[in-house]
Structure 1
């Protein structure tokens, strides 16, 4: 995740101290101003962390994140531009089966993969394939079920009947693989930005 609340406990610990210190030094103009500026910076940092973790809180915070462009995804002309996250990966905001999810874009993955929770939320018909699907993961080889997403949307990109795999062994992360990327007109990385270009741009829904 771009922001991890557990990784920044000092921020919450120092805020009360800064407020108290500000009250004590308010009679010293210069020192008081310094403490005031530091306090506001700390408050702003807290706001950014909370909004960055918006998916763990309220969906209304997600709208704030979009308005502030904190999620790094924008539609520019016919292109979807996604900034690299602090973790070094590209994360897309996509909608499948009417459900919005934050998905990892992985060109090394052959097929798009969903967690069981996402598949259930999207109302997908998950089934056992006629031929067993075996996937190699960091924890070894796992068996997966399959499903079809009738409509997949990402910015101005729309794809229908996207085949996906579903397995508890894949963890909670949803992944966009090459079977979806290959449907695009082109895709490339420029600096720290991933650029996706569809054949037929649609009205952006995410």
Structure 2
């Protein structure tokens, strides 16, 4: 079920509850009815805002947690461990051509995607080719194919990584499966994402030994 459908069902449920309350009360007033309608409208608008901007809000929560001393990304030897953010996602400090960005690690994304601002800062130049259509949580958007010379999370580094650049991504950067598939393994244990390197991580097109599990 899509996020839009869930929101619609929640708002419909709220409207039905309101109607039942009005029918069951003999003392309902126009003022009270209007107050209840305004309250449900505020709840509905807030739900829509949170749903459509949940990833951006997740990034803010992750940055706030780090400033409060909650270190989410830890390097142990050549293994990187990333604790789950309060928003339920994993956010990694990633170096793209030496430029650090906080990126959402998304195993559901086929390819790594970065914003136009990140591409310019990291000197990633989009290819002179027709734009691609990319499916995102907010719908289908256009993006241009590109390649990053180097992408690294701590000691985990790979070269010549395909990615896409798009204006529609806002300030959100996503690390996709085409990076994770170059690792020896990746998995989730006790709300921690564990990334392990493969010797010669630059090798392309090899699937990881392990898959994420809750």
Under a length normalisation based on structure 2, what TM-score does the superposition of the two structures give?
0.61
Distance 1:201 1:93 in 2: 21
1:106 touches 1:175 (CA, 8 Å); kept in 2? yes
Which 5+ residue runs of structure 1 have no aligned equivalent? 5-47, 53-64
- Counterpart position of 2:124: 124
What is the distance in 1 between the residues matched to 2:88 and 2:126? Answer: 31
For 2:177 and 2:64, locate their aligned partners in 1 and report how far apart those are by CA, in whole Å.
32
Structure 2, unaligned stretches of length 5 or more? 1-57, 202-214
Which residue of the partner structure matches residue 15 of structure 2? Answer: none
Per chain length, whose mean CA-contact separation is higher, i.e. which structure has more relative contact order (CA < 8 Å, sep 6+)? 1
Query: How do 1:174-185 and structure 2 match up within 5 A?
Result: 174-185=173-184
Instruction: Give the corresponding residue for 1:197.
Output: 196
Q: Distance in 1 between matches of 2:65 and 2:193?
A: 25
Deviation at residue 79 of structure 1 after TM alignment? 1.0
Check conservation: 2:111, 2:163, Cα contact below 8 A.
yes
Summarize the Cα distance change of 1:139–1:50 in structure 2 as closer, same or farther, 3 Å threshold. closer
Deviations 1:46-76 (A, max 9, x none): xx95963xxxxxxxxxxxx7xx5x3310111
Query: 2:139: which partner in 1?
Result: 140
Do the aligned partners of 1:105 and 1:175 also contact (CA within 8 Å) in 2?
yes
Runs of 4+ displaced beyond 3 Å: 1-4, 48-51
- The aligned runs of 1:1-206 (5 Å cut-off) are 1=58, 49=64, 52=67, 68=69, 70-129=70-129, 132-200=131-199
Alignment root-mean-square deviation, CA: 2.3
SS at match of 1:117: helix
Corresponding residue SS for 2:85: coil
State the alpha-carbon separation in 1 of the partners of residues 114 and 74 from structure 2.
23
Contact 1:95 1:152 in 2 (8 A): yes
Q: Structure 1 residues 72 and 51 mapped into 2: Cα distance closer, same or farther (>3 Å)?
A: closer
The residue matched to 1:80 in structure 2 has which SS? strand
Q: Is the 8 A contact 1:98 1:122 kept in 2?
A: yes
